[in-house]
Structure 1
Amino acid sequence: MSERTREDSVYEELGVPPVVNAAGTKTRIGGSRIRSEALEDMRRAAGEFVELGDLQARASELIAEVTGAEAGYVTSGAAAGLLLSAAAAIAGTDVALMDRLPDTGGVPDEIVMPRTHRTGYDHALRAAGATIVDVGTNDHHLGTGATNVEPWEIERAITDRTVAVGYVQKSYTQPDLSVVAEIAHENDVPVIVDAAAEVPPVENLSAFVEAGADLVVFSGGKGIRGPQTTGIVAGKREYIESIAAQHLDMHVAADVWNPPEGLIDRADFDGVPRQGIGRPMKVGKEELVGLVSALDSFVEEDQQAVRDEWSVRVDRIADRLREGGLDVTTTEPEGASVAPEAVVSLSGVETSARDLVAALRDENPRVYVGADGIDAGEIVVNPMCLTDEEADYAVSRILAAVAD
């Protein structure tokens, strides 16, 4: 990168090494680049005050428009959205139970999940007080033709202690969401879908609701390119109402409690909810406005033009790496990636993938590449969060590290 770029870095000023992000929208390195229009709207929002409930109510309407859901809500990231979704499934509009969470002693709190949908992120569900009941096996990976979980296994696991069925949307997850939703709804329980990294494409904003999800959670700071500390929950109005009641600041006298219309119906509650389990996960007015702005831009932008830009960049990256003597293939968007990627095999060089990844991260600026395939001797270069200048820099550092 140019010296001018380095000199402009606020992280350099703070004495913290900046990162050239060739790994994609990873939370640990800051997610994605926030859209310039969202940043400007956040700046404007910072100069005024607003009732956050009113702003969330308006955001709910806008989220509903683009997702096809009954309502929506802005959270402090996708994990917070999962926690609040679980809290809504457990507590509903019971203000006494809301006040107890995460203590669920004596009340239904089970979320049924196929075993292969379990991830470290389901800690967010458990943090609300939920008990996860996993079903199925890993037999599909044995290559016998067996599936990991059969629909009947999910149905048999649902009891009078079940409050929801959990579902993680990935290319490999089974059964289809529509099948799971049908089973859940026949047993009068909702389906919570973790689709944090599943946009783009823009069509996915509505796909999970159309397939039967009662609550679907997206990250606001990945492909949508809103503030990193935002997430979106879209779904049934009754659950969004519970989320709002457990998240918004309710520290008011009953005589003046005036919850936002369209988001919370006061008649559904025995009294004013106290500070709920979601209170530590507040969303500021600036982040709310930034997310709404970014979501609008995401829906309106030319998705094909963005994909074409990524494709041109990844082809350029691959060509330069091949010129440097590396074995490189390019992929089409699939699996965990929404962008084409350059996959670099290090089988023919002395430097191991593990050593290369570590060396690149130890530089200043740090260079992050995709490292999920290091056990197979591969690294991945993702074009989503790179400028052309940064892509050239990342390639040069990879080639230099391999040559050392």
Structure 2
Amino acid sequence: MPPETIYEELGVPHVVNATGTKTRIGGSRIRPEAVDAMARASEAFVRLSDLQARASELIADVTGADAGYVASGAASALALGAAACIAGDDLGAMARLPDTEGVADEIVMARTHRTGYDHALRAAGATVVDVGTNDKHLGTGSRNVEPWEIEDAIGEDTAAVAYVEKSYTEPPLDVVCDIAHDNGVPVIVDAAAELPPTSNLSAFVDAGADLVAFSGGKAVRGPQTTGILAGREELVESVAAQHLDMHAAEQVWEPARELVDPEELGGVPRQGIGRPMKVGKEELVGLIRALELFVEEDHDALTEEWRERAERISADLDSVAGFDTSLTADDKTAVAPEVIVSVDPDVAGVSAADVVGGLRREEPRVFVGADALPAGEFTVNPMCLTDAEADYAVERIAAQVE
């Protein structure tokens, strides 16, 4: 464990991250090569549309999409994607967002895909139209969402269909895309945490998605304030027109034509809804470098490293009185194998909530996964831990019982 980090120098306790790539504790460890690239980017200036055009080229290459764009996080990518689906190439509609009077603004979404993150869609002015039920959980054999329900909800006010990519979501994405495209509307996919495997970079585009949002600050290990949007050229052009700095005289307004065609737009857009979501030159360069390295990485070796670390953590914690451990199954939603720790409060003398709360109050703080506290469980994710940090986390977890 480092004796002191920059956070202690600032009077703030740092965190030992045993919960994974969570935004609330800083995402993941940015790649050193990306940090170096960001430092070099800070030393000079660049036209951001040129840099976004270079990023678009790389994103298109690794995803198979027409084009790409770098946003200030996956949620920003979703908001900009929704704005593009609503406004298209209409400069007036762009200028009025999130006011959507007079334009199609509904985004159809399966009720079981709804999360707090779809606020990003509504921030662009979209009205989310829920379809389906939760009947699958009744054990009757019925499904939560039938394909016909999605088609039935699409009408003249529909701007897009939204889809959250997880192992448990249904109907299959290709089925949803076929329905949407038969009705002339695009599909936006939230795949923020669906990397690795690298095959997912292209899987959702291959399935027919028109826009796909990934986080740039999780497994890609780029800047935490970046997101990746991949999709159809005309939608990415609308994203750029609503995001780039548009304070320019028309006579000299010449954005990178790979992103925006001034003649097609017919004028200089006003500052769009994406203006509060700007991305700096340093973050753009950092994301480009991190993405290049991510696609070159040996992910099988990395997964094996995570599994071995998880197995060691599991064995160590299993010896603690009142703890019973297991590893997540292959159909897990996390990209790394996690240690599930079940706590028997009668034996341990503390509850799972006591353990998690106690760890977060220490200095340094130790964060473990708290999503399953109602079931008396917490999780340990090896993804963002060094071996030394893993040993320290195990020591401090065990200390909560002593």
1:6 is paired with a residue whose SS is coil
Distance (whole Å) between structure 1 residues aligned to residue 119 and residue 355 of structure 2 = 32
Q: Among residues 206, 216, 223, which one is paired with 2:212 in the alignment?
A: 216
Q: 2:341 maps to what in 1?
A: 344
Whether contact under 8 Å (1:12, 1:18) holds in the other structure is yes
* Pairs within 5 Å for 1:221-240: 221-240=217-236
User: What code does the residue aligned with 2:312 have?
Assistant: R
Is residue 375 of structure 2 the alignment partner of residue 379 of structure 1?
A: no
User: What code does the residue aligned with 2:338 have?
Assistant: E
Tell me by how many angstroms 1:333 deviates: 4.6
Distance (whole Å) between structure 2 residues aligned to residue 6 and residue 78 of structure 1 = 34
Distance (whole Å) between structure 2 residues aligned to residue 259 and residue 401 of structure 1 = 57
Q: 1:357 maps to what in 2?
A: 356
Distance (whole Å) between structure 2 residues aligned to residue 128 and residue 184 of structure 1 = 20
Distance (whole Å) between structure 2 residues aligned to residue 155 and residue 42 of structure 1 = 45
* Pairs within 5 Å for 1:286-365: 286-325=282-321, 326-347=323-344, 348-365=347-364
Whether contact under 8 Å (1:249, 1:279) holds in the other structure is yes
Tell me by how many angstroms 1:122 deviates: 0.5
User: What code does the residue aligned with 1:117 have?
Assistant: H
Distance (whole Å) between structure 1 residues aligned to residue 105 and residue 3 of structure 2 = 51
2:257 is paired with a residue whose SS is coil
* Pairs within 5 Å for 1:72-111: 72-111=68-107
Whether contact under 8 Å (1:247, 1:281) holds in the other structure is yes
Tell me by how many angstroms 1:335 deviates: 3.2
2:24 is paired with a residue whose SS is helix
1:328 is paired with a residue whose SS is strand
* Pairs within 5 Å for 1:5-404: 5-7=2-4, 9-325=5-321, 326-347=323-344, 348-403=347-402
Distance (whole Å) between structure 2 residues aligned to residue 303 and residue 84 of structure 1 = 30
Spell out structure 1 runs of 4+ moving beyond 4 A: none
Unaligned runs of at least 5 residues, structure 2:
none
Distance (whole Å) between structure 1 residues aligned to residue 333 and residue 39 of structure 2 = 33
User: What code does the residue aligned with 2:353 have?
Assistant: R
After superposition, give the CA deviation of every residue in 1:290-311 in whole Å (9 maximum; x if it has no partner): 0010001000011111011101
- Cα RMSD (Å): 0.9
Choose 321-330 or 153-162, whichever is displaced more.
321-330
Report how many aligned residue pairs link the two structures: 399
1:391 is paired with a residue whose SS is helix
User: What code does the residue aligned with 1:236 have?
Assistant: R
1:181 is paired with a residue whose SS is helix
Distance (whole Å) between structure 2 residues aligned to residue 281 and residue 376 of structure 1 = 38
Distance (whole Å) between structure 1 residues aligned to residue 90 and residue 266 of structure 2 = 8
Distance (whole Å) between structure 2 residues aligned to residue 149 and residue 298 of structure 1 = 35
Whether contact under 8 Å (1:332, 1:339) holds in the other structure is no
After superposition, give the CA deviation of every residue in 1:265-313 in whole Å (9 maximum; x if it has no partner): 1222121001100001000000000001000100001111101110111
Whether contact under 8 Å (1:170, 1:335) holds in the other structure is no
Distance (whole Å) between structure 1 residues aligned to residue 148 and residue 382 of structure 2 = 42
Return the TM-score normalized by structure 1: 0.98
2:81 is paired with a residue whose SS is helix
Choose 152-161 or 313-322, whichever is displaced more.
313-322
Tell me by how many angstroms 1:362 deviates: 0.5
Return the TM-score normalized by structure 2: 0.98
Whether contact under 8 Å (1:34, 1:226) holds in the other structure is yes
User: What code does the residue aligned with 1:317 have?
Assistant: I
Tell me by how many angstroms 1:81 deviates: 0.3
